[in-house]
Structure 1
Amino acid sequence: MSRFRFAPTPEQETALLDQCAHARYVWNLALEQWSMWSVGRRSCPPRFVEQARQLTEARADNDWLRTGSQTVQQQALRDFDQAVTNFFSGTHQRPTWRKAGIHEGFRIVGSQAQRVEKVNRKWARVLVPKVGWVKFRLSKPLADAKSYRVTRDRSGRWHIAFAVIPDPIPGPGTGEVVGIDRGVTVSAALSTGERLNVPTLTRGEKARLLKLQQRLARSQKGSNRCAKTRRAIAKLKAREADRRKEWIEQTSTGLARRFDVIRVEDLNIRNMTKSAKGTVEAPGRNVRQKSGLNREILANG
């Protein structure tokens, strides 16, 4: 993926949120149809072709759905159909519900995804269906792509990600080998003696995050104060995630350029970070300690 910061105007942002809502609605509706099916039933749940026909009928009966882009809504059905296929093939988990404020995004595929123009050295623009030309920041060279995804994170930032295959990183050709041990205290310990740590929030940012979390606990749910505090927390969390992602990209690229063979311990992070809460009949032990450990594992990338 080649991701850029999106810069929509307030009017365009409203239209983009509508497109996200339509894509999320269609996805959840397809998931509801699929969830009603169980093994052993004679009839199978509808797949993409049948759901696309149902979508056409729904657009004819609902004005609010017809105002959105049919391309966006059909692509949401295609994405769900692919998610179901991946689930049955064993490569992905079961498709889940998409929630407002968390899963904000949609995908454009085909000829419409190629309507991209470079404005100047710093900016480019893309023609989004039912929205118009939207600018995005050129932070890296723009490559040809056949699809892109528009997303909005919890902190309110918009991004556009083009699906492109990155160029392979050439190795040094010296036969150098390195082993990497992952941990919590030290993010990555190399067999060469180097110790690498993921950058986190500064001491001041951590103090501010703690105050915001305390303020959120005191605020009334659904109030403007609660929403404002949540956005402030999301911005700090996004800043931390950006630093972690940049560190991972730079570190992995640097290791690939320095060594021909890289050996990493095969860790099942999903099982390692499972909750220890347990059940009502068999409650877990040291639940808070395990939750803290899970956060540290995930924070180290």
Structure 2
Amino acid sequence: MLQGRRYRLELTDDQGVLCLTFGDICRSVWNTGLEQRREYRRRGAWMNYVPQAGELADAKREFPWLADAPSHVLQQTLRDLDRACRDHGTFGVRWRSKARWAPSFRFPAGNLITVERIGRKWGRAKLPKLGWVRFRWSRPLGGAVRSATVVRQGRSWFVSFLVETGIATPERHAMPYTVIGIDRGVKVAATTSNGEFLDRPYVTTGEAARLRRLQRKQSRQKRGSARRAATVTAINAVAGRVRDRRADFCAQTAATLTAMNAVVVLEDLRTRNMTASARGTVERPGVNVAQKRGLNRAVLDKGWHMLELALRNAARSTGTQVVLVPAAYTSQTCHACKHVDPKSRESQADFECTACGHCAHADVNAAKNIKAAGQAVSGRGDLGVARSVKRQPPATRKRTGRSPRAERAAGIPVL
């Protein structure tokens, strides 16, 4: 099993400059390669990794500064670009802006990377053209290194090692008959069908006030000035702490849920589509733009997609199955009598069925419906909510008028 190990680097001044140089070169290669691919698509042609890698070797002779970065790092950038274009389309891949993109690059050759522990709290790794770099030994490596990714977040640099642990995913969960449904919300991050409310504050009151002051200060400063850059750095420091807390919550929640349940059922939510802007165009302006903007921020703050990714990652170690079911009517359906009525949900937290009078917390009722949908199995053995619900019965002897032996002789498969 491949797993990631992330550590905080302690770079020297020269190593920090080299990392920035590598990141800028990789950003330039990405943008140039993307523009080339788009130009080919406009002409009705196609460009992939192989010819671009050959042109990169020729470009190094014309532009010597490209040789400052390791060659396999630049080739890996083109491979990442090729995969992004295949997954999202050539015109769906974003540019890497100098102001918005965090410098990062990857060393794909694990045989060129050496990792050693030099103390109780420190380790070091030998990376091509960077030499020995020290990092904080916060957890054991636990396997052979396959690749290393260096990225800057805020004022700090981090390295992520992709290691082969040698552990396989269990074929059977330790508790094979346990199922739980999860309802993701904007008031509570996750509500289980067992009635548990899983949530935590990601930003303190003081941090929220400081963030507002910094953002107002940034809006009054001149673009490109040194003071504005310092303000942006302070904003990123606060946002980085919030992001780390959100990731920590999702990881801990996923570890607990997958350890105790063989099946975890979630709603199939398209977070990117749900958080799209409602601003509209000049010809057709949007409606309730401010309310939609607040809802988008609440959805993104709770980390719905991050929790799903964390569950899938943790499920590899426990053998848990993560199931997605349609989200339609799960919050409007009564779990007791299955009656569907939007009026049954009186508020965000209260649910009272208009047919049978069943009362429950709205999120818990929705989580139970999600769990029931995940447990719905058809005659084919698949999920009834996602695939076929019914199956035509096989032809009997009375309907066909022939015995099974005669049917086999005629080449008719007998079910």
TM-score norm. by structure 2 comes to 0.67
SS of 1:32 mapped into structure 2: helix
Identity fraction in percent? 39
Is 2:69 the partner of 1:68? yes
Q: Give me the whole-angstrom Cα distance separating, in 2, the residues matched to 1:254 and 1:48.
A: 41
Is 2:133 the partner of 1:130? no
The match for 1:19 is 22
SS of 2:92 mapped into structure 1: coil
SS of 1:38 mapped into structure 2: helix
Is 2:163 the partner of 1:160? no
1:8 aligned to which of 7, 11, 16: 11
2:255 aligned to which of 253, 256, 259: 253
Residues paired across the two proteins, number: 295
The match for 1:95 is 93
User: For residue 224 of structure 1, what is the amino acid of its counterpart?
Assistant: A
Cα deviation, 1:84-133, whole Å, max 9, x if unaligned, reads: 23336xxx993221122423101111245532222223222222222211
Flag the 1:33–1:39 CA change in 2: closer, same or farther, 3 A. Answer: closer
For CA contacts below 8 A with separation 6 or more, give which structure has more relative contact order.
1
Q: Give me the whole-angstrom Cα distance separating, in 1, the residues matched to 2:163 and 2:148.
A: 9
The match for 2:378 is none
User: For residue 58 of structure 1, what is the amino acid of its counterpart?
Assistant: A
Flag the 1:221–1:26 CA change in 2: closer, same or farther, 3 A. Answer: same
The match for 1:82 is 83
Cα deviation, 1:140-195, whole Å, max 9, x if unaligned, reads: 11032211211112x22211112246755884416232211110011111121111
Question: Would the aligned equivalents of 1:113 and 1:145 in 2 still touch at CA under 8 Å?
Answer: no
Q: Give me the whole-angstrom Cα distance separating, in 2, the residues matched to 1:179 and 1:145.
A: 36
Question: Would the aligned equivalents of 2:113 and 2:128 in 1 still touch at CA under 8 Å?
Answer: no
Q: Give me the whole-angstrom Cα distance separating, in 2, the residues matched to 1:298 and 1:164.
A: 30
Cα deviation, 1:30-58, whole Å, max 9, x if unaligned, reads: 101001123673x433x222222221222
SS of 2:216 mapped into structure 1: helix
Is 2:134 the partner of 1:141? no
User: For residue 237 of structure 1, what is the amino acid of its counterpart?
Assistant: A
User: For residue 151 of structure 2, what is the amino acid of its counterpart?
Assistant: T
Cα deviation, 1:227-279, whole Å, max 9, x if unaligned, reads: 01100000100100000000000001011112222222221111111110111
The match for 1:194 is 196
Task: In structure 2, list runs of 5 or more residues that go unmatched.
Answer: 304-415
Cα deviation, 1:1-56, whole Å, max 9, x if unaligned, reads: 22211221121111000001111111111101001123673x433x2222222212
TM-score norm. by structure 1 comes to 0.91
Question: Would the aligned equivalents of 1:113 and 1:147 in 2 still touch at CA under 8 Å?
Answer: no
Pairing 1:1-301 to 2, within 5 Å after superposition? 1-38=4-41, 41=44, 43-45=45-47, 47-87=48-88, 94-101=92-99, 102-142=101-141, 143-153=143-153, 155-164=154-163, 168=169, 171-173=173-175, 175-301=177-303
Which stretch shifts more, 178-187 or 92-101?
Answer: 92-101
The match for 2:390 is none
Question: Would the aligned equivalents of 1:198 and 1:300 in 2 still touch at CA under 8 Å?
Answer: no
User: For residue 95 of structure 1, what is the amino acid of its counterpart?
Assistant: V
Question: Would the aligned equivalents of 2:182 and 2:192 in 1 still touch at CA under 8 Å?
Answer: yes
Which stretch shifts more, 59-68 or 207-216?
Answer: 59-68
SS of 1:163 mapped into structure 2: strand
User: For residue 96 of structure 2, what is the amino acid of its counterpart?
Assistant: R
| Superposition CA RMSD, Å | 2.1
Q: Give me the whole-angstrom Cα distance separating, in 1, the residues matched to 2:173 and 2:200.
A: 24
